[in-house]
C-alpha cells in the first residue's frame, strides 16, 4: 500500500503543481486568501456534519482556507471548518481544472467463496477487459498454442464470466520456476507485469520448496506449472494494468476443509502450499468441505493486495464476477471484484487494543507496567480513571499494538499487574504520516516530528520534548524558548 500511495502521490503532485501551495504558505496566501464570491457563513446541515468527508471531492484545499472560520466555530458539536473545507476543495478543483485527479483507482477483491486463478481472470474480464488484449499480450511468452475460452454462466442467481484455458497440443514437459521466470523476462510485457508475475511464481516456488525440501530454483511445478496457471497469473496482471488499477485490496480469505487430489496424491484442504502462502493473511473457517483458495489464487492475491479486511471507503464504478468450477451448494462459487476510486488523504491500518480494568493494584506499579508494555511491543499505552463495582475507583489500562503482538501484551498485563483477565479486539485507524527531522538551534540540535497527509500537506510540527528538556538543562535557559526556536526553524524550512 505504501508503494502504491507513494507513486500516486508523486504523480498527482506533478500533475497539479500543489507542492508550492502547501509548502510555501506565503505564496498560498497571496494566491488564495481571497474568499470565493458570496462565501459568507457556510450553510451546513447540522445532522450530516459528522458524516462529511474531505475525501469526496477532486482536489484537497490548501489549509489557508480554514482561516475563514475561527477555531472555536462549531455547529452541533461538530467542526464546521470541515464543511468549509469541502466547499473550498470544490472551488479549487473548478479553478484549476483538476477535477478527479485526487482519486486513486483501486480494486477490492470480495473473496466470499474463495479465490482461484481462473476466477480472478474471469472477474477481470467481466469488468470489461478485452480477451483480444490478453491474447495479444500473452502471445510473446513462447507458450505452446492455446485458446482462452470465455462463457457467461450462472452460479445461483448471479451471472459471471467463466474462463477456461485449453492447450491446442499436449504439453511436452513440466516447467520449473527458472524456466517460467525466463519465459516472463524474455517477453514483451511491461516491466511492471514482469516483476509482479515473477514475484507470484517466486512465492509459489518458495512455498513448494519449503514443503518438499527443495531449492526454489529447482522446483518443478505440476498443477501450478501447467499452461492454464501461467495464463491465469500473467493474464490477470495484464488485466490489472489494462484497467489502470493502482492498488488492490481484498477481504479475509475463507478456507474450506476436506482433501484434494493432485500429482502428489491426496492432500489436506487447504493445500500445504496454500497455507504457506497465506502466512500473515487473515483467514476464517467457511465451514464448506471443498478447496476454496487454491495455491494459484493465494500466490496472486498475496503478491498484489495491499491489505486484507473490510470494504475500503471507495466510490464503486463497476462490479465483475468470476465463475469458479466448484458446486458449493447454497454458496455460489464466485469471486466479486469492485472497481472504483479511493481518495487516499489519510493512511489506514489495523491494530489491536488490549485492555483491562484494575481496582486493587498499588498505583506505584503502573509506571513499570507501562514501561514493560512498551518493551513488549505496545505502540501506545493509556490509563483512564473509572468507577467499578461497589463504586470502587479503578484504572482502565489500554494498550494499542500490532496484531502480531497482542499475546505478548496480554501476557505482560497478566504477569505485571493484579489483573486476572484482558479484553482484546481489532480496530482500524486513520492516521497522518510522520517523519522525524533535526533542526539546528542556538542551543543544539532538536528533533521535530512532522505530520502530513498522503499528499505531503503538513498538519503539525512538534519539537521533541526530550531534546528541548535536555538542552534546557544544559544551557540553563527556558524550555519554552528552545521549543519555540525549534518550531520556528522547522516551519521556515518546510515552506
284-296: b (≥16 Cβ within 10 Å) or e: eebebebbbbbbb
Q: Please determine, for residue 190, whether its predicted confidence score (pLDDT) is greater than 90.
A: yes
3-state secondary structure of 374: helix
- Predicted confidence at residue 436, as pLDDT, reads 94
The string of DSSP codes covering 33-86 is -SPPTT--S----TTTGGG--TTSSSSPPPGGGGGGS-TT-EETTEEHHHHHHH
CB 395 within 8 A of CB 356: no
Angle at 176 between CA 170 and CA 182, to 5 degrees: 100
| C-alpha dist (Å) from residue 381 to 92, 189, 292, 356 | 41, 49, 40, 12
Res 172: pLDDT: 65
Residues facing residue 348 across a β-bridge: 430
> If you classify domain 347-426 with CATH, what class do you get?
alpha beta
CB 378 within 8 A of CB 417: no
Each residue's pLDDT tens digit, 284-318: 999 999 999 999 999 999 999 988 998 887 889 99
Cα gap 5→24, rounded to integer Å: 23
Domain regions of the chain by residue span: 2-96, 105-342, 347-426, 433-494
**CA atoms of 413 and 407, how far apart (whole Å):** 10
Burial bucket for residue 38 (CB in 10 Å: 0-12, 13-18, 19+): exposed
pLDDT over 80 at 250, yes or no: yes
DSSP one-letter code for 312: P
Over residues 267-278, the pLDDT tens digits come to 899 999 999 999
Q: What's the grid cell of residue 100?
A: 478527479
Q: Cα–Cα distance between 187 and 175 in angstroms, integer?
A: 16
Euclidean distance between CA atoms 477 and 405, whole angstroms: 41
- Give the residue, 54 or 87, on which the prediction is more confident: 87
For 433-494, which CATH class?
alpha beta
- In whole angstroms, how far apart are CA 7 and each of 10, 63, 139, 247, 344? 5, 23, 29, 10, 12
Single pTM value for the model: 0.58
pLDDT digits 0-9 by tens, 197-216:
999 999 999 998 888 788 78
Tell me whether domains 347-426 and 433-494 share a fold.
no
Q: Which residue has the cell 464570491?
A: 37
pLDDT for 213: 81
Cell 508550492 found at: 20
Q: Which pLDDT score is estimated for 70?
A: 38
Average pLDDT on 459-467 reads 95
Can you tell me the distance from the alpha carbon of 11 to that of 352, in angstroms, rounded to the nearest whole number?
A: 33
Amino acid at each position: 500500500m505504501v508503494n502504491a500511495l507513494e507513486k500516486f502521490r508523486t504523480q498527482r503532485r506533478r500533475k497539479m503543481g500543489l507542492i508550492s501551495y502547501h509548502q510555501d504558505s506565503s505564496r498560498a496566501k497571496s494566491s488564495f486568501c481571497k474568499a470565493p464570491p458570496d462565501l459568507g457563513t457556510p450553510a451546513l446541515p447540522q445532522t450530516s456534519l459528522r458524516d462529511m468527508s474531505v475525501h469526496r471531492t477532486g482536489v484537497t484545499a490548501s489549509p489557508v482556507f480554514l482561516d475563514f472560520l475561527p477555531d472555536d466555530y462549531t455547529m452541533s458539536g461538530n467542526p464546521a471548518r470541515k464543511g468549509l473545507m469541502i466547499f473550498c476543495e470544490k472551488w479549487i478543483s473548478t479553478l484549476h481544472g483538476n477535477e478527479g485527479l485526487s482519486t486513486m483507482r483501486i480494486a477490492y477483491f470480495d473473496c466470499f467463496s474463495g479465490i482461484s486463478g481462473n476466477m480472478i481472470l474471469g472477474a477481470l474480464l467481466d469488468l470489461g477487459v478485452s480477451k483480444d488484449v490478453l491474447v495479444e499480450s500473452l502471445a510473446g511468452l513462447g507458450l505452446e498454442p492455446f485458446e482462452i475460452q470465455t462463457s457467461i454462466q450462472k452460479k445461483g442467481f448471479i451471472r459471471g464470466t467463466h474462463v477456461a484455458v485449453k492447450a491446442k497440443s499436449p504439453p511436452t514437459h513440466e516447467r520449473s520456476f527458472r524456466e517460467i521466470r525466463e519465459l516472463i523476462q524474455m517477453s514483451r510485457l511491461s516491466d511492471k507485469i514482469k516483476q509482479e508475475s515473477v514475484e507470484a511464481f517466486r512465492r509459489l516456488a518458495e512455498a513448494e520448496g519449503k514443503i518438499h525440501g527443495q531449492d526454489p530454483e529447482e522446483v518443478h511445478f505440476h498443477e501450478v506449472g501447467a499452461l492454464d496457471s501461467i495464463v491465469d497469473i500473467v493474464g490477470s496482471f495484464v488485466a490489472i494494468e489494462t484497467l489502470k488499477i493502482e492498488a488492490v485490496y481484498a477481504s479475509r480469505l475463507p478456507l474450506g476443509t476436506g482433501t484434494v487430489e493432485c500429482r502428489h496424491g491426496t492432500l489436506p484442504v487447504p493445500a500445504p502450499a496454500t497455507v504457506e502462502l497465506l502466512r500473515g493473511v487473515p483467514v476464517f473457517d467457511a465451514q464448506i468441505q471443498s478447496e476454496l483458495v487454491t495455491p494459484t489464487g493465494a500466490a496472486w492475491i498475496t503478491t498484489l493486495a495491499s491489505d486484507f479486511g473490510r470494504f475500503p471507503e471507495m466510490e464503486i464504478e463497476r462490479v465483475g464476477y468470476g465463475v469458479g468450477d466448484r458446486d458449493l451448494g447454497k454458496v455460489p462459487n464466485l469471486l466479486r471484484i469492485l472497481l472504483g476510486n479511493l481518495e487516499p488523504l489519510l493512511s489506514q491500518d489495523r491494530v489491536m487494543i488490549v485492555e483491562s480494568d484494575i481496582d486493587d493494584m498499588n498505583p506505584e506499579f503502573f509506571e513499570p507496567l507501562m514501561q514493560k508494555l512498551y518493551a513488549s511491543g505496545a505502540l501506545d499505552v493509556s490509563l483512564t480513571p473509572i468507577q467499578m463495582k461497589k463504586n470502587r475507583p479503578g484504572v482502565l489500562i489500554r494498550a494499542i499494538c500490532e496484531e502480531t503482538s497482542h499475546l505478548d501484551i496480554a501476557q505482560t498485563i497478566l504477569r505485571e499487574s493484579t489483573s486476572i483477565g484482558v479484553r482484546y479486539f481489532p480496530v482500524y485507524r486513520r492516521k497522518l504520516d510522520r517523519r522525524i527531522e533535526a533542526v539546528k538551534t542556538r542551543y543544539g540540535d532538536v528533533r521535530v516530528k512532522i505530520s502530513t497527509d498522503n499528499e505531503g500537506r503538513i498538519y503539525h510540527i512538534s519539537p521533541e520534548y526530550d531534546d528541548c528538556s535536555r538542552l534546557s538543562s544544559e544551557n540553563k535557559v527556558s524550555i519554552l524558548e528552545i521549543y519555540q526556536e525549534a518550531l520556528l526553524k522547522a516551519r521556515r524550512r518546510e515552506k
